[in-house]
Amino acid sequence: MVEAVVTLSLLALFLAISLPALGGLLCRRALDAAAARLAGAMAMTRQEAIARGRYAGLVFKRAQGGDWYAIHIDGGRRGIRTSEVASGVDPRIHGPIPVGTSEDGVQLGIPLQPPIRCVPPSTGVLPPGGDPIRLGSSDILSFSPIGESTSGSIYLTDGHGGLRAVVVYGRSGRIRVWEWTPDMNWRRQ
């Protein structure tokens, strides 16, 4: 009987120590998975533009119930435009795709902590709680029929200080995922 009590006490102690670490690991993995899904959607959008010989774009929406994005194809032959997306001229061909799930807490965002440096190659500082969609004046990531794109970054957070940036490099259309590390630096994943 004493052995069982000691064993159960040790098990309870082990669980009490390991559960917070496990929770942090699960948050990081959810954030990594969301960033990988977004990078994959960007690559798929680029391939759609090349295959169809028309502009294709990833349109981002911030919403109370959860952020999402969708792939649209150029129907007006003038590029992907907000007004043409709204009117249906640039039709949605895939999505909407949620950024995260209601369980994982991943969303478009910049954590509310001391200012964070912009992800390379950008310079400057991200304001806490600032706009996580850094694509110029719109919330559309557009790819041309030859695979070039809008340059920019999309920031994802888990609500617990975790941060990832999915970066698209304009002329080449390269897509990279970066992680903000605890030592206050960006690291390419």
Average pLDDT of the chain to the nearest whole number: 82
177 pLDDT above the threshold of 70: yes
Nearest to 158 by CA among 120, 94, 108: 108
Supply the pLDDT for residue 103. Answer: 58
Provide the pLDDT for residue 146: 93
Q: What is the pLDDT of residue 22?
A: 41
pLDDT at residue 28, rounded to an integer: 63
Instruction: Quote the pLDDT of residue 72.
Output: 95
Question: Phi-psi bin for 13: left (phi > 0), alpha (psi -120 to 50), beta?
Answer: alpha
Q: Is residue 189 scored above 90 in pLDDT?
A: no
Whether 170 shows a pLDDT value over 60: the answer reads yes
Alpha carbon distance 6, 8 (integer Å):
6
Q: Is the pLDDT of residue 174 over 80?
A: yes
For residues 163 and 152, what is the distance between their CA atoms, to the nearest angstrom? Answer: 16
Q: What is the mean pLDDT of residues 139-153?
A: 91
Q: Which has the minimum average pLDDT: 20-29, 37-46, 105-114? A: 20-29
pLDDT digits (tens, 9 = 90+) for 74-113: 988 788 898 898 899 999 999 898 887 655 688 888 887 7
Whether the pLDDT of residue 121 is over 50: the answer is yes
Residue 108 CB contacts under 8 Å (≥ 6 apart), including other chains: 60, 62, 67, 99, 132, 133, 154, 155, 156, 157
Position 15 pLDDT exceeds 50: no
pLDDT tens by residue, 58-68:
999 988 878 89
Calculate what percentage of the chain has a pLDDT beyond 90: 35
With 50 as the cut, is the pLDDT of residue 26 above it?
Answer: no
